[in-house]
Copies of this chain bind each other. A is one copy, B any other.
């Protein structure tokens, strides 16, 4: 992507973000950018070669599955929306999750005949996710390495140098089902259980925020290796500076590689 087309795309995205931050709703139902993401978005967007394309600072959600159809040919509905599936609760602000379950359920038992027609209610904690479009592979690679170093172990570079920054602190819990007969959501866990997983989500929100702050610090110090095709135009001083930065980047990469291997080993040996 040439400088001009990247800049053009970036400016387009930035003007959308500005509109949203000025309280004009964006396309999401929430209608705004998560407050916690604003500082890191500003930091990333102040960098010449990066622009944020989507963000979610983390959230708690409660989802009622739709009607599932067993069809080998179609894409699966496991944990998916299904027909008529919808959210009973979505909240990105940790200060507003304490009493989400009040008066939402009747309490009961796991249904005795559970099959595909059972519409489960799922409680989820989902952590930060950030997508960042980079001008070139060198920048994408530096950002990926930086994110991995901060514990965002499920990060990856996609096509067109878009980096997805992901971490794996999740909760994914069936808490009830929908009773079709009397049109009522039934919780098959106790109210104390719902309070406990709400507290566990708060802990995860805090951990998530701690990682976000680490990532902010690391990105503010990030060094990017010069793209290969820029080498011919550089002066002696530029070359010296580039070599220094490359040395640093290599060190960071090596560290991230070690951590990646460790993380992989943990998964395969667990």
Q: Which residues of B sit under 8 angstroms from A171, Cβ to Cβ?
A: 172-174
Q: Which residues of B sit under 8 angstroms from A56, Cβ to Cβ?
A: 267-268
Interface residue A83 (Cβ < 8 Å from any Cβ of B)? no
Whether the Cβ atoms of B156 and A174 lie closer than 8 Å is: no
**Tally of this chain's copies:** 2
Give A144-163 interface residues, CB cut-off 8 Å to B.
Answer: 144-145, 148, 151, 154-160, 162
Whether the Cβ atoms of A268 and B54 lie closer than 8 Å is: yes
Whether the Cβ atoms of A159 and B172 lie closer than 8 Å is: no
A228 vs chain B, min Cβ distance (A): 11
Whether the Cβ atoms of B157 and A156 lie closer than 8 Å is: yes
State whether A188 and B193 are in contact (beta carbons under 8 Å apart), knowing that A28-B269, A170-B170 are contacts in the complex. yes
A65 vs chain B, min Cβ distance (A): 11
Interface residue A38 (Cβ < 8 Å from any Cβ of B)? no
Interface residue A129 (Cβ < 8 Å from any Cβ of B)? yes
Interface residue A264 (Cβ < 8 Å from any Cβ of B)? yes
Q: Which residues of B sit under 8 angstroms from A53, Cβ to Cβ?
A: 264
Q: Which residues of B sit under 8 angstroms from A87, Cβ to Cβ?
A: 270
Interface residue A164 (Cβ < 8 Å from any Cβ of B)? yes
State whether A173 and B173 are in contact (beta carbons under 8 Å apart), knowing that A144-B159, A268-B28 are contacts in the complex. yes
Whole-angstrom distance between the alpha carbons of A170 and B15 in the complex? 37
Q: Which residues of B sit under 8 angstroms from A164, Cβ to Cβ?
A: 154, 156
- Of chain B, the residue at the smallest CB distance from A34 is B268
A53 vs chain B, min Cβ distance (A): 8
Give chain A's interface residues, CB within 8 Å of chain B.
Answer: 27-29, 53-56, 61, 75-76, 78-79, 87, 90, 109-110, 114, 120, 126, 129, 131, 137, 141, 144-145, 148, 151, 154-160, 162, 164, 166, 169-174, 188-190, 192-193, 195-197, 199-200, 203-204, 207, 210-211, 253, 256-257, 260, 264-265, 267-270
20 A-B residue pairs with Cβ-Cβ distance under 8 Å, sorted by A, are A28-B269, A54-B268, A56-B267, A75-B151, A78-B207, A110-B195, A120-B200, A126-B267, A141-B159, A154-B156, A156-B156, A156-B158, A159-B260, A160-B257, A172-B172, A173-B173, A173-B174, A174-B196, A188-B192, A189-B193
